Amino acid sequence: MEKTTNTKPAFPVGVYGITAEKFSAGRSNIEVVQQMIAGGIHIIQYREKRPYKSLGEMLEECRAIRHLTRESGVLFIINDYPDIAQLVDADGVHVGQDDFPVTEVRRLIGPHKLIGLSTHNPDQAAAAVLAGADYIGVGPIFSTQTKDDVCAPVGLGYLDHVVRTCPLPFVAIGGIKEHNLDQVLAHGAKTVCLVTEIVGAADIAATARRLHTICV
């Protein structure tokens, strides 16, 4: 395990990268992450689910990605698995509403790591603040097929609510593509996730670079 720092990292603006191997046109998560980093993305979340990959496979991928992100100064977040995050010394963990509670994840990973929580309505955003989340996911803004268990789109209205009332940084996510990115940014989002638009691109680095430029 790598040495852990004692300073909680800042949450970056721009494009928030997420892996999604089944949408990556035959490329591995490691290949995709290399290209995301080349495209200037400053935060990358590893998101894979069982039974598509075993815990052992995910651990080995995360070790390789942790090396890549550490060498390039990119934040590395792991979705759902605080134990893997601890083993590879990731920069944080992202959880959903049905995963481990934020307070329990904090007990596992300590005070100096980021914890993100997916939220879908104002009550969940308020609860995330009270629970001690460092940032929230806001979405799905539009309809998306990236996740099997995704809820109905929350629309731009919920994004507006978060911008007005939530003190936490956030990432807008869900069905966001280059053609509707301007809408999301116009409603106040500063960090935005476009999953398939990036991992499925013929040139991931060039696409990420272009989208990041639009966002910032």
Entry pTM: 0.95
* 69 domain-assigned: yes
Query: Which of the following is catalytic: 66, 106, 113, 118?
Result: 118
pLDDT of residue 1: 41
Task: Read off the CATH number of the domain in which 139 is found.
Answer: 3.20.20.70
pLDDT of residue 139: 97
* 9 domain-assigned: no
CA distances from 188 to 56, 157, 181, 203, 213 (A): 39, 11, 11, 28, 16
Burial status of residue 9 (CB atoms within 10 A of its CB: 0-12, 13-18, 19 or more)? middle
Give the chain's domain count.
Answer: 1
The tens digit of pLDDT for each residue in 61-72 reads 999 999 999 999
* 117 domain-assigned: yes
209 is catalytic: no
Domain span at 194: 14-215
* 121 domain-assigned: yes
Query: Which of the following is catalytic: 47, 66, 106, 113?
Result: 47
* 120 domain-assigned: yes
Query: Which of the following is catalytic: 8, 53, 147, 210?
Result: 147
5 or 82: which leads in pLDDT? 82
Neighbours of 212 (CB within 10 A): 20
* 7 domain-assigned: no
147 is catalytic: yes
* 2 domain-assigned: no
* 34 domain-assigned: yes
pLDDT of residue 100: 95
The tens digit of pLDDT for each residue in 165-197 reads 999 999 999 999 999 999 999 999 999 999 999
pLDDT of residue 212 exceeding 70? yes
72 is catalytic: no
